[in-house]
Structure 1
């Protein structure tokens, strides 16, 4: 009997320890998060943004703005008359031109320095692809700040909005065909049923960006007309739309009701103003991908392209927003750089 009790004790003690450890892990994992709420709709509509305090603190740190180089004034010779081969900012005075170059180095190539885009033995040389790309990106920034104010407002964007000190922005996307699909009746051409981080870890379509943020696909779940009139919407389209919307939510760190009144997702009149801002943002992203980023594919080396041939890196909401509803929490950096608001025509061949 004593031997049986000892054996039972030896069995139960490790089990009790294991259960305690398991309970501790579960309690830490499933602890109620420390959240704060912010109402942004009418009372009673449930339009409330929930944010975890720890996540917001981390977001504030990640969106800290680097110190600006003091303004150099608008006096002095123009950069185009002093330096060779200045194709975009030739009308900017030398002091401000130098200030912007120093700032761009901090914004885009904090580790590499000037050599990231320039042959430092001959700054006029165009042999580095990064210099060719940087010219076009300067024009893209000017285009956004001049022509897309319905989305960026007076806040505008700078190189830092997307790059955050890195040569390649942390958040870009490539076309994703997904894993090889089976043939015949087992084929899943919608690209779903594989966990997708884009869609919040769900099994929704892997690549909602190509049809909606590169092409002009109609983003819709509910049809405008009854089925008898020839409803063009499909379950497949709804799945792609949900995948895209989940990526929007993650990109901005918000709930669905940030742009929609969940009483009626379809209704524009019941939606908050952010939905109109987002509508313009979607079209802005399509414009940038089609007219600025995709055309650079022949200038980029193979290691900067996606798995598909000639697939250039492209932008989506997270490229600028980086997980917050307003990039850099709405702080404007461009107001200190007026040359980034004025559209410039490239000289020579446009590259």
Structure 2
């Protein structure tokens, strides 16, 4: 304000019986509203977070992590890889020469074979001990069923480390990656016996509006695991043609809903948002996407191979109480390994201490 305006304003206030200027009542009201707004925003925003930018500025491509929550999760027992004991020299008699019925690990020295058995016990059955997979009266026997399953799981771990480096390298995987000290991994799935939602007054719901964990607690279809992690359906939203012509089927709403349901699962399982794998300028274009999208694509194919080639075929070996509502074997999804982290155990390397699990015969 100019000095002339200030003089006239003070003079006006004096004529009204005021010795000093006073702000209008509404100014004080807005001040109170402002304080309330700031308080609410502070409560809503919660603790301080960190923002990691993953794309160009202005595209909202980044991950927001609450610093205290991230620190707590990283320190959680499930994300602490058990310390590895020192490896023995690769010399001396082989496990196949000392023990009977060790077809998968017979090439290891007997000392390193025992070292790996101790580690597997800590990874999978720390409370049950060796008897979880072995008959204490006859260690060579093909019982209990867990011995047959665990042998196949060892073959699977070697297969993943040797054939799916595009997804698991360089950290690798071991039994700990999924089990985290539990005989049965916490995040498994079965075929959904009521995925269609039944038929009623409103018709068939096709498993929607059921708030399924399989679809990240969204209202999207809850049978996405079977569609993409067991069957070989392609995740697709954008139509490949303008109109159905010459018998070509148009990409429909149902398939888009399935795709979004699977994306919700990945987001929940990895603890990330959409822009961890996609460019917000164009979710569809691969050339504009972050490298993580390629890694995720390999992960989907890898998980399907795990279920089709290793887990689902084990159904005859399981007792009834280990099977799902439709009698199928337990299967893996993204959360089985990741358990809410963008990389299992936040990228902790688990394979270097156990090279015998890196590939068959290593």
Partner-residue secondary structure (3-state), 1:266: coil
Partner-residue secondary structure (3-state), 1:186: coil
Residue of structure 1 equivalent to 2:90: 74
Give the Cα–Cα distance (whole angstroms) in 2 for the partners of residues 270 and 293 of structure 1: 35
Q: 1:46 to 1:80 in 2, by over 3 A?
A: same
Residue of structure 2 equivalent to 1:15: none
CA deviations 1:86-118 (Å, max 9, x no partner) are: 111001000100000000000010111101101
Residue of structure 1 equivalent to 2:291: 273
2:108 maps to 1:120: no
Residue of structure 2 equivalent to 1:288: 306
2:322 maps to 1:308: no
**TM-fit CA distance, 1:32:** 2.7
**TM-fit CA distance, 1:231:** 5.1
Partner-residue secondary structure (3-state), 2:286: coil
Partner-residue secondary structure (3-state), 2:103: coil
2:238 maps to 1:193: no
Give the Cα–Cα distance (whole angstroms) in 2 for the partners of residues 236 and 278 of structure 1: 22
Give the Cα–Cα distance (whole angstroms) in 2 for the partners of residues 103 and 232 of structure 1: 51
Of residues 47-56 and 272-281 in structure 1, the stretch that sits farther from structure 2 once superposed is 47-56
What does 1:196-275 align with in structure 2 at a 5 Å threshold?
Answer: 196-227=212-243, 229=245, 230=248, 232-275=250-293
Give the Cα–Cα distance (whole angstroms) in 2 for the partners of residues 139 and 182 of structure 1: 40
2:118 maps to 1:102: yes
Partner-residue secondary structure (3-state), 1:36: strand
**TM-fit CA distance, 1:244:** 0.5
The count of residues paired between Structure 1 and Structure 2 equals 319
Partner-residue secondary structure (3-state), 1:49: strand
Q: Give TM-score, length-normalised by structure 1.
A: 0.86
CA deviations 1:116-169 (Å, max 9, x no partner) are: 101122211112000000000000000000001111122210000000011001
CA contact (8 A) 2:240 2:250 kept: no
Instruction: Give the gaps of 5 or more residues in structure 1.
Output: 1-25, 346-351
Partner-residue secondary structure (3-state), 1:214: coil
> Rg larger in 1 or in 2?
2
**TM-fit CA distance, 1:61:** 1.9
CA contact (8 A) 2:161 2:357 kept: yes
Give the Cα–Cα distance (whole angstroms) in 1 for the partners of residues 339 and 325 of structure 2: 24
**Equivalent in 317, 321, 326 of residue 338 of structure 2:** 321
Give the Cα–Cα distance (whole angstroms) in 2 for the partners of residues 272 and 93 of structure 1: 43
2:163 maps to 1:147: yes
**Equivalent in 106, 116, 138 of residue 90 of structure 1:** 106
Q: Give TM-score, length-normalised by structure 2.
A: 0.84
CA contact (8 A) 2:199 2:205 kept: no
CA contact (8 A) 2:95 2:105 kept: yes
Give the Cα–Cα distance (whole angstroms) in 2 for the partners of residues 73 and 29 of structure 1: 58
CA contact (8 A) 2:196 2:207 kept: no
Q: 1:282 to 1:181 in 2, by over 3 A?
A: closer
Give the Cα–Cα distance (whole angstroms) in 2 for the partners of residues 275 and 180 of structure 1: 30
